[in-house]
Amino acid sequence: MPREHRIADNTDVSTTRERALAALEERLGHRFANRELLLQALTHASRANEDETGRLRDNETLEFLGDSVLGFVVADMLHRRDPEGAEGVKTRARAHLVSTRSLARRARELGLPALIEFGRGEEKTGGRTKPSLWADAFEALLAALYLDAGLEAARRFVSEQFETDIAQGQLDRRDHKSALQELLQARGGDPPVYVVAAEEGPSHRRRYRVACQVADRTIAEGSGYSKKEAQQAAARDALAALRSDRAGDP
């Protein structure tokens, strides 16, 4: 464990941490006017509880605020990208983007795990290795940025973090089957039916080909190494076919 997390009054350690925080601000593109907000965002409750002065504030309240700011800004980005898109699809896309896994990855890229202040007990039990706590720190950091510089600064940060995933189609993990069913329901049709058309390959590497049928007509096929994967592929192509047909209507 780095010494800076064990000794609070050592000058060399303080200087090292200050440099690390300054480097984080460089990565954020923002110098905090109120440095206490940044320190709070990186303070776990276990560390605040061990503080004998009672002046350390943990990041739980900032995490709550950051979660709301993040959800709003990501929803706004998704809406602007596809104003007429199905609500369910965008809801699932937002859930994927703000999931613990997604936020933990971004926190790691920013170097947050090494900067979070944990209490001795949490440190010993592996708190620094928990992605959920990295994600919490990411949300708290966003809240600190929002409080220090306003919504536009928070929006800029979120945009930099998420715009590539949104623009480059990283939302393809969405549930195409649900999206297809929603589209058919909106058009007054029956739900799709998926039929296994073929099973190919050895038993340990079986590949499935699934037909997606709408109104007793096969409109797309998909393949994959599981029936679910094949169904998703078929639903994706069925969505494209139906939207293309509608676009070509007179």
Q: Which residues are catalytic?
A: 67, 139
Q: How far apart are CA 39 and CA 20, in angstroms?
A: 12
Pairing of strands 207-214, 193-200: antiparallel
- Tokens 């002046």, residue? 55
Q: What is the CA radius of gyration of the chain?
A: 24
Q: With the CA atoms of 118, 124, 126 and 127 taken in that order, what torsion angle do they form, in degrees rounded to the nearest 10?
A: -20
Q: How far apart are CA 68 and CA 72, in angstroms?
A: 6
160: nearest Cα among 72, 28, 69, 62: 28
**DSSP classification of residue 171:** G
3-state secondary structure of 110: helix
Q: How far apart are CA 211 and CA 192, in angstroms?
A: 10
